[in-house]
């Protein structure tokens, strides 16, 4: 069998196994084993489920990312990126690979009303900060039956979440509504855009317009982003948000400083939708406020149908 055939067969096998594996596990990169009884599904509902997802080559293809309402991309250590995927209208049976939380996530998620945050663990000094944040943290130590290790790749790139096993119930309403954003008609103006690449020190994300699918097809570090079934991942609207990225008070296990992305403030943005690029401004007055996206003349920016990707791009 060819190398491509072996790879495709392995991916197909994992797509089946990802729904069948039942072994519980620990967080792997910061959380501790739990000897308590597993969390049961209480039916309690917060507005959104946010899942911290790995975004390096060994972690791909992602599982369940295509069904997120909102996908945030943020810079982490060594100039790499991680994803914070937000779900509300639709929950896949499995999401991952799940990785550790960062301080940036806490400020970002204050735009939502008591969100649930699923993550593998965190730097030890950050854990009490997460516990004090206005969200419901659900690492493996609190819901061990909700997480499992996949068989197709090595740790730490193989931790997956079964959302039905945590105390969260999807509202059925698109999470963008929680941000005060709306789907609407394409605004006038804009410039034709076939492709846009957002670069980080050690990573890149490219969006290529597909008129046939009416989506911006996503590529990660130059390779097409695909589901575990091999389908291309796409976005209806893309927002590239220029932000300040500074050092935080936290470091990873290797001593690298964890960057903090400032999501409160204001700055320039570019909105990609319907094969066009629109210059915009973003503004968020406080951590408790929504981020407002507007055109240079002050009009609200409406979204196209489909997933929303927001990329926090370090100001050059």
pLDDT in tens, 6-29: 344 444 444 434 433 333 333 334
Cα–Cα separations (whole angstroms), residue 9 to 3, 153, 247, 273: 10, 14, 43, 35
Percent of residues, the chain, with pLDDT higher than 90: 74
- 90 three-state secondary structure: coil
Query: What pLDDT, on the 0 to 100 scale, is given for residue 158?
Result: 97
- Residue 186 and residue 273 in contact, taking contact as beta carbons nearer than 8 Å: yes
Which two tokens mark 133? 């944040």
pLDDT at 55 over 90: yes
Query: What pLDDT, on the 0 to 100 scale, is given for residue 4?
Result: 43
CA angle 23, 90, 173 (to 5 degrees): 140
The DSSP code sequence of 131-175 is HHSSSEEE-TTT-GGGEEE-SSS-TTTTEEE-GGGSS----SS-G
Q: Over the stretch 248-284, which tens digit does the pLDDT of each residue have?
A: 887 777 777 889 999 999 999 999 999 999 999 999 9
Query: What pLDDT, on the 0 to 100 scale, is given for residue 38?
Result: 32
More confident of the two residues 292 and 47: 292
Q: Cα 57 to the chain's mean position, in Å? A: 16
Cα distance from N-terminal residue to C-terminal residue, the chain:
47
pLDDT at 62 over 80: yes
Nearest CA to 80 out of 172, 194, 204 is that of 204
Specify the residue for token string 């080559």: 57
Query: What pLDDT, on the 0 to 100 scale, is given for residue 222?
Result: 97
Q: Over the stretch 68-103, which tens digit does the pLDDT of each residue have?
A: 999 999 999 999 999 999 999 999 999 999 999 999
Query: What pLDDT, on the 0 to 100 scale, is given for residue 249?
Result: 81
The DSSP letter of residue 28 is: S
10 Å CB burial of residue 58 (0-12, 13-18, 19+) is exposed
10 Å CB burial of residue 172 (0-12, 13-18, 19+) is exposed
pLDDT-derived band at 169, boundaries 50, 70, 90? confident
10 Å CB burial of residue 15 (0-12, 13-18, 19+) is middle
pTM: 0.86
- Residue 216 and residue 210 in contact, taking contact as beta carbons nearer than 8 Å: yes
* Residue count of the chain: 316
Q: Over the stretch 181-238, which tens digit does the pLDDT of each residue have?
A: 999 999 889 999 999 999 999 999 999 999 999 999 999 999 999 999 999 999 999 9
Measured between alpha carbons, how far is 292 from 18 in angstroms, rounded to an integer?
38
Question: In this predicted structure, which of 50-54, 170-174, 229-233, 262-266 has the lowest mean pLDDT?
Answer: 170-174
The DSSP letter of residue 176 is: G
Q: Cα 37 to the chain's mean position, in Å? A: 29
**Type and span of the H or E element at 104:** helix 103-109
Query: What pLDDT, on the 0 to 100 scale, is given for residue 120?
Result: 97
Query: What pLDDT, on the 0 to 100 scale, is given for residue 46?
Result: 58
């Amino acid at each position: 069998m060819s190398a491509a055939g072996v790879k495709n067969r392995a991916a197909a096998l994992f797509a089946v196994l990802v729904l069948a594996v039942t072994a519980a596990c620990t967080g792997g990169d910061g959380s501790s084993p739990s000897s308590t009884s597993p969390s049961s599904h209480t039916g309690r509902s917060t507005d959104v489920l946010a899942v911290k997802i790995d975004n390096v080559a060994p972690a791909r293809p992602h599982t369940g990312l295509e069904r997120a309402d909102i996908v945030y991309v943020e810079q982490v250590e060594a100039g790499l990126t991680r994803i914070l995927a937000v779900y509300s209208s639709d929950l896949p049976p499995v999401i991952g690979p799940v990785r550790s939380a960062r301080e940036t996530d806490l400020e970002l998620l204050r735009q939502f009303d008591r969100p649930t945050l699923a993550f593998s663990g965190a730097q030890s000094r950050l854990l009490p900060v997460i516990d004090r944040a206005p969200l419901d943290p659900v690492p493996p130590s609190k819901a061990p039956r909700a997480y499992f290790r996949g068989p197709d790749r090595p740790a730490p790139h193989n931790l997956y979440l079964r959302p039905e096993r945590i105390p969260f119930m999807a509202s059925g309403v698109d999470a963008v509504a929680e941000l005060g954003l709306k789907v609407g008609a394409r605004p006038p103006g804009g410039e034709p855009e076939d492709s846009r690449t957002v670069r980080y020190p050690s990573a890149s994300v490219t969006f290529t317009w597909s008129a046939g699918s009416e989506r911006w097809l996503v590529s990660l570090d130059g390779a097409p982003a695909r589901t575990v079934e091999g389908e291309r991942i796409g976005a209806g609207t893309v927002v590239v948000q220029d932000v300040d990225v500074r050092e935080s008070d936290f470091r990873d296990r290797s001593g690298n400083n964890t960057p903090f992305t400032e999501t409160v403030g204001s700055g320039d943005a570019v909105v990609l939708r319907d094969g066009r690029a629109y210059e915009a401004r973003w503004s968020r007055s406080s951590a408790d406020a929504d981020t407002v996206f507007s055109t240079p003349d002050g009009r609200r920016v409406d979204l196209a149908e489909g997933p929303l990707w927001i990329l926090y791009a370090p100001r050059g």
